[in-house]
Amino acid sequence: MQLKMNVTAISAIGLLFLGACSSGNQATNSTSSPAPSAETQPSPPAGSPAKSTSGGNHGGQGGQVIESGPYHLELVSKKEAAQTHIDFFLQKGDNHEPIPNAKVTAQVQLPDGSQKSLDMKYDASDKHYTAILPSATPGEYKAVILSDISGEKVNGRFSFKH
């Protein structure tokens, strides 16, 4: 009887420890096409990792990074005069091979709450997807990047401030 109680207590403490150590900020790999909304969990600010990886030491470009299964997703935004330049790196495998043949769309929620949908084009020379957001309004932008890789949906949620 005493042995049963000890095993139960140790098991409960172990489960609590595992729950405390798990991270609630995980990558998104969804098969639906969600739009940015107030229901989404906030993404880290620009320049910080979306998971426990950083752009600098994981083959990145210094942007926000999500590792989703075998995929590496990275968003880099740069404010320009009256617009925002968005670069999205979609890569696969440990060696981060670029994926040039995906259909990539950015759904961006502007600081005023309005939304823009942008088709991202592949830049073969720089090996990433790019789009211009016709807004440089100061504030927080939320972006959902929807990627279709030969029928496989790989999506990521990001945010950035200007």
Query: Which is it for strands 97-98 and 64-68: parallel, antiparallel or unpaired?
Result: unpaired
Instruction: Out of 36-40, 59-63, 118-122, give the one with best mean pLDDT.
Output: 118-122
113-114-118 Cα angle (round to 5):
130
* Structure confidence by residue, pLDDT tens digits, 94-114: 899 999 999 999 999 999 999
Distance (Å, rounded) from C-alpha 89 to C-alpha 76?
Answer: 8
Asked if 102 and 90 touch (Cβ cutoff 8 Å), the reply is yes
Q: Region 113-141: what's the mean pLDDT?
A: 95
The pLDDT, as a whole number, for residue 18 is 43
* Structure confidence by residue, pLDDT tens digits, 37-54: 322 333 333 333 334 333
DSSP string, 17-82: HHHHHS-S------SS-----TTSPPPPPTTS-SSS--TTTTT--SSEEEEETTEEEEEEEEE-SS
Structure tokens of 125? 């020379």
Under DSSP, is residue 7 helix (H, G, I), strand (E, B) or coil? helix
Could you identify the residue written with the tokens 């320049």? 47
Give the domains, in start order, of the chain with CATH numbers: 2-161 (2.60.40.3340)
Strand-pairing partners, residue 74, are 65, 89
Distance (Å, rounded) from C-alpha 23 to C-alpha 65?
Answer: 16
Q: What is the pTM of this model?
A: 0.65
Structure tokens of 106? 């950015």
